[in-house]
């Protein structure tokens, strides 16, 4: 299985357009010991010819142009190797890129029923994806039920996904009344992606690590996990907001009950943090937080990172 990491930042990217925190300021000044990042996005393939996107970043157009295998094929005026998109939530940094794929390209979008309802019933913008018959085929997926990634002609790609509940909430733009009509366990998911005996785990947003995941993760070749915040009160201290990391649906990396501690016994997979917020101190490669991550056997995903498993 081929994995291209197209983007690694949380919503807004790094640096964030309206942020002057220490990290963002130093990136703009050229004094930061770390890398700028576009918003979280993966592309996966079993053969290097047919590709599927995991989420649809607002930075997707630029990300496609940064990776030659995703370029349109010269066999016809419009023929993309991108066959489908799997969405892990209805957050804007997860799904807004779908609108950038509106140019009459057939696609399959895999998402939970609740996420599909939010996008199609509540957002008129998504009508642009239904201008032509079968322009986008929306395929509901169910928690803990494996499904095959198929080409737009219905051919199996060789890759199989299993969605798991990631214990997150619906996006802030979904009203409480509307949320009460949906299934909260479908709001945010993680994915186990398999090709033959190889397995990738992708859990970009979760406020916890379920005990039931650990044995499954031990059998994975690689794990991408939520690296949004270092501490639970990070945004409260840096930006004066009122919500903790966990209230926003993210387990902090550091601390006595953070993900570094929670995964301390996990030895099987290559362990990689992704979806990293611009305020996270571990982005600074000269920081103590970054040294703690490396010492614990973790990596920080970066834009343009390639994995072959």
Question: Cα–Cα distance between 87 and 281 in angstroms, integer?
Answer: 28
Domain that includes residue 89, residue range:
2-308
CATH code of 208's domain? 3.60.15.10
Question: Cα–Cα distance between 16 and 248 in angstroms, integer?
Answer: 18
The percent of residues in the chain predicted with pLDDT above 70, rounded, is 99
Give the pLDDT of residue 132.
67
Higher model confidence: residue 42 or residue 73? 42
Q: What is the mean pLDDT of residues 49-73?
A: 96
- The domain total for the chain is 1
pLDDT reading at 124 higher than 90 = no
Give the pLDDT of residue 242.
84
Question: Cα–Cα distance between 290 and 32 in angstroms, integer?
Answer: 13
3 state DSSP class of 34: coil
Q: How confident is the model at residue 176 (pLDDT cuts 50, 70, 90)?
A: very high
CA-based radius of gyration for the chain: 19
* Alpha carbon of residue 29 to chain centroid: 28
Q: What is the mean pLDDT of residues 70-78?
A: 86
Q: The pTM is what?
A: 0.96
Question: Cα–Cα distance between 215 and 218 in angstroms, integer?
Answer: 5
Which of 146-150's residues contact partners 24+ apart within 8 Å by CB, and which partners?
Answer: 147/110, 149/52, 149/83, 149/84, 149/86, 149/110, 150/83, 150/84, 150/108
């Amino acid at each position: 299985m081929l994995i291209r990491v197209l983007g690694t930042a949380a919503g807004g990217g790094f640096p964030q357009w309206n942020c002057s925190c220490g990290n963002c300021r130093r990136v703009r000044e050229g004094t930061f010991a770390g890398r700028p990042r576009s918003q979280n996005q993966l592309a996966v393939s079993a053969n290097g010819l047919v590709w599927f996107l995991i989420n649809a970043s607002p930075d997707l157009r630029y990300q496609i142009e940064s990776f030659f295998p995703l370029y349109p094929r010269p066999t016809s005026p419009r023929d993309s190797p991108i066959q489908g998109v799997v969405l892990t939530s209805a957050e804007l940094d997860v799904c807004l890129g779908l609108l950038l794929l509106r140019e009459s390209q057939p696609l399959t979008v895999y998402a939970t029923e609740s996420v599909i309802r939010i996008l199609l019933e509540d957002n008129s913008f998504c009508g642009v994806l239904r201008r032509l018959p079968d322009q986008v085929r929306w395929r509901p997926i169910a928690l803990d039920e494996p499904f095959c990634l198929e080409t737009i002609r219905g051919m199996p790609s060789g890759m199989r996904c299993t969605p798991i509940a990631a214990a997150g909430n619906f996006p802030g733009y979904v009203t409480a009344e509307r949320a009460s009509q949906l299934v909260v366990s479908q709001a945010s998911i993680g994915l186990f992606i398999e090709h033959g005996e190889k397995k990738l785990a992708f859990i970009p947003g979760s406020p916890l690590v379920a005990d039931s995941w650990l044995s499954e993760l031990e059998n994975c070749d690689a794990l991408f996990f939520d690296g949004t915040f270092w501490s639970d009160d990070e945004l409260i201290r840096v930006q004066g907001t009122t919500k903790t990391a966990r209230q926003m649906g993210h387990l902090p990396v550091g601390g006595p009950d953070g993900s570094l501690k929670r995964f301390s016994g996990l030895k099987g997979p290559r362990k990689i943090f992704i979806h990293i917020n611009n305020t996270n101190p571990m982005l600074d490669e000269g920081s103590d937080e970054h040294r703690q991550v490396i010492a614990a056997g973790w990596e920080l995903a970066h834009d343009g990172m390639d994995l072959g498993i």
